[in-house]
Structure 1
Amino acid sequence: MASINTNYGAMVAAQSLAATGRELANVQNRVTTGMKVSSAKDNGAVWAIATTQKANAKALDATINNLQRSQSINDVGLAAGETIMAALTEMKALGTAIEAATAAGSSTTAYVADFTALSGEITAAIAAANFDGVAAFGASPPAVPAAQTAAGVQTSIDAWASALQGLGTTSKSLERQITFNTKLQDALEAGA
C-alpha cells in the first residue's frame, strides 16, 4: 500500500503566496501603465472603450499639428504684414511729397528712388512670407502700389489691411480650435 504524505498547511500557504503574487503583478501593472484596465482580459467592455478613446486622442494629435501649422503660416503672414504696412505708410508720405514736388516743378528723383526701394521691400516681404513651402498670402497677394501717388498707395493700404484682418481673424480662430482640441484630447486621455 502506498501512502502519500501531504502537509495541508504548506499547500494552503503556497496557494496564498501564488494568489498574492498574481495580485502584486496586477497592481504593479496598473502602477506602471497608469491604467486600471490594461488588457481585454481585465475587463473587455472597459478596455474596448478605452482603446477607442486612445485612438481618438491619437487622431487629435494630427488635427492639432495641422492647426498649429496653419497658425504658423498665419503668424508668418502677420509678421510680414507689419513690415508691409510700415513700408506702405512711408510710401504714402512719399507719394504726397512726389505730388507736391511735381506740382512745384522740383526734382522728384530722391523721392522716387525711396518709393521704389520701399516697393522692393514689400515685394521681398511677400516672397519671404512662406512657411513650409506655403505662401502666407496665397497665390495672389494684394498689389504693391505702382502709382507714386498718395491715392494709389491708399488703395494698397486698404487691400493689405483687409488681407491682414483676415489673417488675424483666422489666427484667433485657429488658437481657439487648438485650445479646444487640446482640452478634448486631455479629457479622452484621462478617461482612457
Structure 2
Amino acid sequence: MANSINTNRGALVALQTLNNTNKALETTQNRVNTGLKVSSAKDNGAIFAIATSQRAEMGAQDAVKQSLQRGQSIVDVALAAGETVVDALTEMKSLAVAIQDATADSDTETKLMADFDAIAKEVHSALAGATFDGVNLFKATAAGAPIEVSTNTSGGKFSLKAAGGAASATALAFGGTADADAGTWTAAAAAADKRTAYTAANVETALNAFTTTLADFGTKSKSLDRQLTFVGKMQDSLETGVGNLVDADLAKESARLTALQTKQQLGVQALSIANSSSSMLLGLFR
C-alpha cells in the first residue's frame, strides 16, 4: 500500500470507530442517567408512542379512582345516617306500642306522643344532613338526572340512585308532613290522627322499607370497593407494562458503560498512532 500524506486511511478508520464508540457511549450514559432505554421518540418511535398512550391511560385511571372514592363517600355518609335512623325507628316502635296502650287523651298519651314527635323530627333532620359534596341519596332525584360515578375511562357509569327516585323520608311521615329537602317534619295536629298513625305496624312497615334502602346502599358500597380494587390493580399492571417497554436494565447498561469507556480510550490511542504514521515519512527525506 502506498504511503501518502494527503490521505491517511488508518486515521480515517480510527476516527470512524471512535465516533461510533462515542455515539454508543452517549446512548448508554443517557440510559444510566434516566433509567430508561426509551426516553424519547428518537430512541424508538413506536414504543415511545405506546408508552405515552398507556401513561395517559394511567392518568385517566386516577380520575376514575377519585370518582369511585367520591361515590363511596356519598354512600358511607348515607349509611352512617341510616344507622341513626334505624336506632330511632326501633325506639319509636316501643313508643308506638305504649301509645296504643295508653288511655286516649290522657296525660301519658300526650307525653308519649311528644316523645314520638321529637324522634320523628330527629329522623328527618338526620336524613337531610346525610349530604356529601352536595349529594344526598335520601332525597328525591329529578327525572333524567341519576346520581352516578365513573367506573372506567370508556364512559362506564355506576348508578348510586336512579333518575326520578323517591325521597326515603316519604315513608317516614307517620301521618304528618315531611319536607325532604329542608329536613323538617310536622306532626298531625289532632291526637286522634296521631293515634291512628303511631302504631307498631306502621313503624314496622317504615322500618322494613328503610332497611331495604340501606341494604341496597350496603350492596353498592361493596361494589364500589371491588371497583376501586380493580382500578388499583389495573394501574399497577399498566405501570408494570410501561416499565417493561421503556425501562433500562441498569446492571447491563453499567457493564456496557465501563466497556465503552475503555473502548473510547483505546480509540483515542489508535487515532493518535494513526496520525503519527505520516510524520514517519519525514525520516525518508533525511
Q: TM-score band (shorter)?
A: 0.7 to 0.9
Residue 172 of structure 2 corresponds to which residue in structure 1? 144
Give the Cα separation in 2 of the matches to 1:17 and 1:40: 21
In the alignment, structure 1 segments of 5+ residues that lack a partner are none
Residue 226 of structure 2 corresponds to which residue in structure 1? 176
Residue 213 of structure 2 corresponds to which residue in structure 1? 163
Task: State the shift of 1:120 in Å.
Answer: 1.0
Secondary structure of the corresponding residue to residue 41 of structure 2: coil
Give the Cα separation in 2 of the matches to 1:13 and 1:37: 25
Residue 77 of structure 1 corresponds to which residue in structure 2? 78
Structure 1, 161-170 or 132-141: larger mean CA deviation: 132-141
Give the Cα separation in 2 of the matches to 1:110 and 1:188: 65
Give the Cα separation in 2 of the matches to 1:13 and 1:49: 34
Q: Taking every aligned residue pair, what percent have the same amino acid on both sides?
A: 48
Amino acid at match of 2:30: A
Please tell me whether Structure 1 or Structure 2 has the larger radius of gyration of its CA atoms.
2
Residue 203 of structure 2 corresponds to which residue in structure 1? 153
Deviations 1:42-74 (A, max 9, x none): 111111111111111111111111111111100
Give the Cα separation in 1 of the matches to 2:240 and 2:98: 64
Q: Number of paired residues?
A: 186
Deviations 1:9-49 (A, max 9, x none): x96897456653442123202x2xxx432211111111111
Give the Cα separation in 2 of the matches to 1:175 and 1:138: 24
Structure 1, 20-29 or 147-156: larger mean CA deviation: 20-29
Change (3 A) 1:46 1:22: closer
User: How high is the TM-score relative to the length of structure 2?
Assistant: 0.59
Which residue, 29, 44, 47 being the options, matches 1:24?
Answer: 29
Secondary structure of the corresponding residue to residue 46 of structure 2: helix
Give the Cα separation in 2 of the matches to 1:113 and 1:74: 32
Give the Cα separation in 2 of the matches to 1:55 and 1:17: 34
Say whether the 8 Å CA contact 1:145–1:153 is kept in structure 2.
Answer: no
Change (3 A) 1:106 1:18: closer
Residue 94 of structure 1 corresponds to which residue in structure 2? 95
Task: State the shift of 1:105 in Å.
Answer: 6.2
Amino acid at match of 1:128: G
Give the Cα separation in 2 of the matches to 1:189 and 1:157: 48
| C-alpha RMSD of matched pairs (Å) | 2.6
Deviations 1:100-122 (A, max 9, x none): 11379672122111111110110
